[in-house]
């Protein structure tokens, strides 16, 4: 377990000003009694190698968001199984080899973050899921719905050729897949719809009122919120889960990695850590907005 008195971490991506990761990590380290600093930096793929190479020994790790989850892969010394499977890493741990030299270890906490967020919201299984978008988060989402027991996944993308790599991934995790253009429309039999598009983006897909009322919409975006899709879904009487819930749960696993070196090693007092992280972004235990206190 890393208990150094002062360590530095950061979330990287572009755009990054909206990120809630600093708030979440600060809440966690306060509960853990760690005087660690967590920053955010606007970094694009071209500047990522130089940024990583210039970090000194005070640095413990990085969180990565769009558009860096694939760019980082050749820059690390090892990848965990999930990052290898999905071809995307959202976490880098600055570690030491037995020789004392620095090594960079890459992880993917998005898959478990999605599963844990859905479980907390009461969604434990899915038979057919529709995923909107074909980027790095879509790859993690495919692996996540497989963990939920899905048999088939429909992935709606703007360019099927650019997202062809999702097909072998789906087969590798035991799913049949229908990779289709956005123009091909919605999948009426889906019981779970997950949008992986950036906040504010409109897919052009129009779901029926019946499906909006029967299927859960999990929109991984959280800024701006509510998204257009979430607004329409809620107006139809449907259930919506914000990506902020996923952000909390994947961040908890990142904190495990940064503190213990292991995504599977629970933190001391982890229930209190998770509660503090949820409260920091005004979510209850189910990942939904907490009731505001009366004035």
What's the pLDDT tens digit per position in 36-94? 999 999 999 999 999 999 999 999 999 999 999 999 999 999 999 999 999 999 999 99
Whether pTM > 0.85 for this model: the answer is yes
Coil/strand/helix, residue 100: coil
| In a domain? residue 201 | yes
Q: What is the dihedral of CA 198, 203, 208, 211, to 10 degrees?
A: -40
User: What whole-number percentage of the chain has pLDDT above 90?
Assistant: 92
240-242 vs 8-13, strand pairing mode: unpaired
Six token digits for residue 65: 């968001």
The predicted model gives 200-218 an average pLDDT of 93
Are residues 51 and 169 both part of a single domain? no
Residue 295 has pLDDT above 60, yes or no: no
CATH of the domain at 35: 3.40.50.10860
| In a domain? residue 286 | no
Tens of pLDDT along 3-22? 567 899 999 999 999 999 99
Q: At what angle do helices 136-147 and 110-120 cross, to 10 degrees?
A: 50
Are residues 237 and 207 both part of a single domain? yes
| Residue 204 CB-density burial (10 A; 0-12 exposed, 13-18 middle, 19+ buried) | exposed
Confidence of residue 294 (pLDDT cuts 50, 70, 90): very low
Are residues 101 and 174 both part of a single domain? no
| In a domain? residue 100 | yes
Are residues 159 and 105 both part of a single domain? no
Instruction: Spell out the residues 6+ positions from residue 117 whose beta carbon is closer than 8 angstroms to its own.
Output: 218, 241, 245, 246, 248, 249, 287
Burial 216-232 (b: 16+ CB within 10 A, else e): bbbbbbbbebbbbbbeb
Are residues 180 and 222 both part of a single domain? yes
Are residues 133 and 169 both part of a single domain? yes
Phi and psi angles of residue 230, each rounded to the nearest 5 degrees, phi first:
-65, -40
CATH of the domain at 117: 3.40.50.720
Confidence of residue 2 (pLDDT cuts 50, 70, 90): low
102-107 vs 91-96, strand pairing mode: antiparallel
- Range of 208's domain? 111-244
Residue 292 has pLDDT above 80, yes or no: no
| In a domain? residue 272 | yes
Integer CA distances (angstroms), 24 to 260, 273, 277, in order: 18, 10, 5
- Residue 19: per-residue pLDDT: 95
Residue 1 has pLDDT above 60, yes or no: no
- Residue 4: per-residue pLDDT: 60
- Residue 160: per-residue pLDDT: 95
- Residue 3: per-residue pLDDT: 54
- Residue 198: per-residue pLDDT: 84
| In a domain? residue 164 | yes
Query: Are the beta carbons of 118 and 143 closer than 8 angstroms?
Result: no
Integer CA distances (angstroms), 174 to 22, 60, 116, 248, in order: 36, 35, 20, 27
| In a domain? residue 289 | no
Are residues 221 and 255 both part of a single domain? no
Q: What is the strand order of the sheet 240-242 is part of?
A: 176-181, 152-157, 128-132, 192-195, 216-219, 240-242
- Residue 200: per-residue pLDDT: 73
Q: Which residues pair with 78 in a beta bridge?
A: 105
Tens of pLDDT along 88-116? 999 999 999 999 999 999 999 999 999 99
Instruction: Spell out the residues 6+ positions from residue 222 whose beta carbon is closer than 8 angstroms to its own.
Output: 20, 199, 242, 243, 244, 247
Tens of pLDDT along 177-202? 999 999 999 999 999 999 999 877 88
Are residues 51 and 119 both part of a single domain? no
Are residues 128 and 230 both part of a single domain? yes
Q: What is the mean pLDDT of the chain?
A: 95
End-of-domain residue from the set 244, 260, 290: 244
Are residues 168 and 202 both part of a single domain? yes
Residue 237 has pLDDT above 90, yes or no: yes
Are residues 144 and 191 both part of a single domain? yes
* Structural domain count of the chain: 2
């Amino acid at each position: 377990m890393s208990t150094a008195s002062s360590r530095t971490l950061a979330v990287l991506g572009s755009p990054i000003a909206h990120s809630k990761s600093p708030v979440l990590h600060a809440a966690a380290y306060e509960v853990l009694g760690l005087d660690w600093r967590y920053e955010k930096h606007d970094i694009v793929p071209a500047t990522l190698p130089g940024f990583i190479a210039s970090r000194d020994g005070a640095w413990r790790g990085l969180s990565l968001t769009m558009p860096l989850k694939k760019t980082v892969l050749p820059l690390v010394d090892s990848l965990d199984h999930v990052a290898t499977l999905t071809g995307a890493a959202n976490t880098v741990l600055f570690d030491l080899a037995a020789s004392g030299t620095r090594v960079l270890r890459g992880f993917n906490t998005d898959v478990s973050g999605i599963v844990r967020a859905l479980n907390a919201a009461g969604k434990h299984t899915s038979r057919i899921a529709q995923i909107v978008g074909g980027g790095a988060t879509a790859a993690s989402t495919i692996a996540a719905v497989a963990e939920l027991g899905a048999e088939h996944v429909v992935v709606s993308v703007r360019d099927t050729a650019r997202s062809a790599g999702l097909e072998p991934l789906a087969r590798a995790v035991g799913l049949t897949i229908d990779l289709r253009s956005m123009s091909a429309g919605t999948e009426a039999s889906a019981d779970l719809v997950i949008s992986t598009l950036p906040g504010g983006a409109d897919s052009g897909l129009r779901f029926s009122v019946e499906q909006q009322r029967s299927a859960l919409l999990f929109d991984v975006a959280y800024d701006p919120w509510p998204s257009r899709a979430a607004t329409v879904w809620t107006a139809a009487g449907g259930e919506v889960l914000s990506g902020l819930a996923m952000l909390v749960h994947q961040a908890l696993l990142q904190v495990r990695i940064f503190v213990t070196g292991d995504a599977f090693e629970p933190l001391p007092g982890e229930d209190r850590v998770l509660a503090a992280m949820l409260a920091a972004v005004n979510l209850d235990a189910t990942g939904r907005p907490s009731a505001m206190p009366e004035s």
